[in-house]
Amino acid sequence: MPLIRWSLPIIALALAACATAPKPLRGEFAAAPQPPAADGQKVRWGGEIIRTVNAAERSCFEVLARPLDARARPQRQDHSEGRFLACRSGFYDPAVFAAGREITVIGSIVGDEIRKVGDYDYRYPRVAADVIYLWSERAATNYHQRWFYDPFWHRPWWGPAHLVIHHSHSRRAK
């Protein structure tokens, strides 16, 4: 019984640590980018980079917004919560901050901007970013199918015989 008494708090702390946002992303912020957002409002938004554009003094990211999980990482879903623009001074290499990569942004709303998405005029909330957090690429999981023999049923089956997981390198930026 004493073992259970000591192990439960340790397990609870370990699970709580798994759901903690990285240090630069901690705090309380507004949720999803639902227009109209009030100028000056502090936000923590994230999603998938659509494109990165560099100007002389700053880099801007066009982002397909996604809901954030308990760690403030964008969730993989088949729908978005809209789009937003995030700009920060300095150079962010578009080869690293490439389309499809996930970022979380902390900053303040500084108005909006209308841009075309196809023929549609879309109103993008603009964020003056204090933090641009680039998440490591998710590990790709590939399932390989092949014939295998089931000794209990005495006949071959078609199905997943083994699992191959490819791991990627982790990169972060402030």
At 133 the pLDDT is: 94
| CATH T-level fold of 22-134 | OB fold (Dihydrolipoamide Acetyltransferase, E2P) (2.40.50)
CA 11-13-14 angle, 5° bins = 65
Give the pLDDT confidence score for residue 172 in this predicted structure. Answer: 46
Quote the pLDDT of residue 148: 54
Give the three-class secondary structure for 87. strand
- Burial code (b: 16+ CB inside 10 Å, e: under 16) for 131-160 equals bbbbbebeeeeeeeeeeeeeeeeeeeeeee
Q: Where are the domains of the chain?
A: 22-134
Instruction: Please name the helix (run of DSSP H) or strand (run of DSSP E) that holds residue 3, with its range, or none.
Output: helix 2-18
Q: How confident is the model at residue 25 (pLDDT cuts 50, 70, 90)?
A: confident
pLDDT band at 164 (very low <50, low <70, confident <90, very high): very low
Q: Is the pLDDT of residue 39 over 70?
A: yes
Bridge partner list, 74:
68
Q: pTM, whole model, 2 decimals?
A: 0.66
CA R_g for the chain? 21
pLDDT tens-place string over residues 121-163: 999 999 999 999 999 998 775 555 555 555 555 555 555 544 4
Residues 6 or more apart from 137 whose CB is under 8 A from it?
101, 168, 169, 170
Residue 57, CA atoms < 13 Å, CB-side half-sphere: 0
**Percent of the chain residues topping a pLDDT of 70:** 64
Please report where in the chains the tokens 């880099």 appear, as a residue.
59
Q: What is the DSSP string of 97-161?
A: S-TT-EEEEEEEEEEEEEEEETTEEEEEEEEEEEEEEEPPPPPEEEEEEEEEEETTTTEEEEEEE
Residue scoring higher pLDDT (27 or 103): 103
Q: Residue 106's closest CA among 80, 127, 84, 76?
A: 127
Of 33, 96, 89, the C-alpha closest to 60 is 89
Q: Give tens-digit pLDDT for 73-98.
A: 999 888 888 999 999 999 999 999 99
